[in-house]
Structure 1
Amino acid sequence: MKVRNKVVVVTGGGNGIGRELCLGLLSKGASVAAVDVDASALEETLARSGKNRDRLGTYVVNITDRAAVDALPAEVISRFGAVDGIINNAGVIQPFVRLKDLDYAAIDRVMNVNLFGTLYMIKAFLPHLLARPEAHITNVSSMGGFLPVPGQTIYGAAKASVKLLTEGLNSELQGTNVKVTVVFPGAVHTKIVQNSGVSVETKGGEGSARMLPADKAARIIIEGIENDRYRVLVGPDAMLMDALYRLDPQRAARFIYKQMAGLLPK
């Protein structure tokens, strides 16, 4: 779906990839409904939209609140007249601890934001998307959605669920006007750690230098949408680990363990 003159809803639009998706879509001529739980972050996205701000609407919504999400399509349609696409980008990670040490409050939060928030958005907007001449649903999973990352087991389980939810939805919507894309970002330079309320001890700042900038990640995702791609791998690490996991899943898991084990408490 070409995004020019389309109306696209983006969750997590106040920060990171979500903000860059909003700005990238606006630059291509789309109208955007930016959704986030953080009002001040949305104000910053609006401030950065510049001359395109008249095509950007901001909505403070907690996507884990099903009633609030159910009310969102009417609000967006009231402002823009229609909805042509949704990008389910909002997500949080878990504390870097083993499953045995992860409390249920953290488990519930990760599952509710990453999986149920995505599900609620799809259920709320799908009837409206099916009524459009063409439409698109994009769900952001993670490299951790196909590859086990120690210390992020529940996050990975949620993102793996998003992967299969998206693939199942794609199959169910064959023959309709709605195309579906699943996205697998690797390491992207965002504030997801801070926004998730997680602290991580790292060795120096060299890790962030290898991360993909958020604006480049957003461009890759938008290109995937405009070409109706089934799956989009974002970043060289995601592409490499996807290939390795297909060849030898256990070797891929061992490799990631060696990379990530140092982040886990002893």
Structure 2
Amino acid sequence: MRLQNKVVVVTGGGSGIGRELVRQLLARGARVAAVDLNPSALEETAALAGAPPERLSTHRVDVGDQAAVAALPAQVLAQHGVVDGVINNAGIIQPFVTLVQLDDAAIERVMRVNFWGTLYMTRAFLPHLLTRPEAHLVNISSMGGFLPVPGQTIYGASKAAVKLLTEGLYAELLETPVRVSVVFPGAVGTDIAAHSGVTIAGQSERRQRAKVLPPARAAQIILDGVERNRFRILVGPDARLMDRLYRLSPERAVRLIQRRMRDLLSS
């Protein structure tokens, strides 16, 4: 779907990849409804974007709140008239601990934001997307959605659920005007840990060693994939490499990521 003159809703638009998606969508001629839980982060995104209200609206919404999400389409339509695309980008990680160390509240929070938030948004906006001549639904999964990462088992489960949800939607919507993409980012230089309330000692040094992808580059890859109607969008060389390796030898891929995470978190 060509993005020029389209109206696109972006969750998690207050920071990281979401903020860059908002800015680059505007640069490509789209109108944007930016959604985030943090109103000050949305204000900062709007200030950085410098777009007039008719091109950029901001909406303070908790995507895990079903009632709030159900009310969102009417707000976006009142501002922009139509909705041509939705990018479900909002997400959080869990504390870096094993499953037996993770409390129920943390498990529920990760699943509520990552999976239920994506599902609520999809169900709220899909009827509107289906009325458009062409439309696009984009769900951000993760490299951790097809490759288990030690210490992020529930996060991975939530993103695996997003993966299968999106793949099912792709099949269901093949004969409709709505195209569907599932996105698998690898390591991207965002502040997702801080926004998730997770503290990681030495994070900046680890980020440098891991050679993470800048959020602006991640957003560019995602939007290029959308404009090419790509079903699967792998973001970053690590995501592409591990996708190939996992297809060839799942056990080898799991052992490799286990060693890399052990070394990264212990150093």
With normalisation by structure 1, the TM-score equals: 0.97
Amino acid at match of 1:3: L
Q: Cα distance, 1:174 vs. partner?
A: 1.1
Amino acid at match of 1:93: I
Residue number in structure 2 paired with 1:236: 237
Q: 1:264 to 1:203 in 2, by over 3 A?
A: closer
Partner residue in 2 for 1:109: 109
The equivalences for 1:239-258 within 5 A come to: 239-258=240-259
Displacement over 3 Å in runs of 4+:
51-54, 262-265
- Tell me whether 1:121 sits opposite 2:121 in the alignment: yes
**Aligned-residue offset at 1:208:** 3.1
Q: Distance in 2 between matches of 1:53 and 1:152?
A: 39
Shift of 1:182: 0.1
State percent identity of aligned pairs. 62
3-state SS of paired residue (2:63): coil
Change (3 A) 1:59 1:204: closer
CA contact (8 A) 1:148 1:253 kept: yes
The 1:142–1:204 alpha-carbon spacing in structure 2 relative to 1, beyond 3 Å, is closer
2:66 is matched with 66
Within 5 A, what are the aligned runs for 1:1-266? Answer: 1-51=1-51, 54-202=54-202, 205-208=205-208, 210-262=211-263
Residues 254/227 of structure 1: CA separation in 2 closer, same or farther (3 Å cut): same
1:206: how far off?
4.9
Q: Tell me the alpha carbon deviations over residues 21-52 of structure 1, each in whole angstroms, 9 at most, x when there is no partner.
A: 00000000000000000000000000011245
The answer as to whether partners of 1:3 and 1:29 remain within 8 angstroms in 2 is yes
Q: Output the CA distance in 2 between the equivalents of 1:40 and 1:208.
A: 28
Amino acid aligned to 1:110: V
**Cα offset, 1:202, TM superposition:** 3.5
5+ long unaligned stretches in structure 1: none
Task: After superposing the two structures, state which structure 1 stretch, 243-252 or 206-215, moved more.
Answer: 206-215
Q: Deviations over 1:54-111 (max 9, x none)?
A: 4110000000110100000000000000000000000000000000000000000000
Shift of 1:165: 0.2
Cα separation, 1, equivalents of 2:138 and 2:38: 22
Whole-Å separation in 1 of the counterparts to 2:29 and 2:256: 42
For structure 2, the residue ranges without an aligned partner over 5 or more in a row are none
Query: 2: CA distance between counterparts of 1:203 and 1:5?
Result: 39
How far apart, in 2, do the equivalents of 1:203 and 1:45 lie? 24
2:97 maps to a residue whose letter is V
**Structure 1 SS opposite 2:82:** coil
Change (3 A) 1:59 1:203: closer
Q: Give the CA deviation at 1:205.
A: 1.3
Q: How many residues align?
A: 265
Q: Residues 189 and 208 of structure 1 are in contact (CA less than 8 Å); yes or no, is this contact kept in structure 2?
A: no
Cα distance in 2 for partners of 1:88, 1:225 equals 13
Give yes or no for contact 1:151–1:264 (8 Å, CA) kept in 2: no
Distance 1:15 1:216 in 2: 14
Task: Give the 3-state SS of the residue equivalent to 1:57 in structure 2.
Answer: strand
Aligned partners of 2:135 and 2:25: how far apart in 1?
Answer: 15
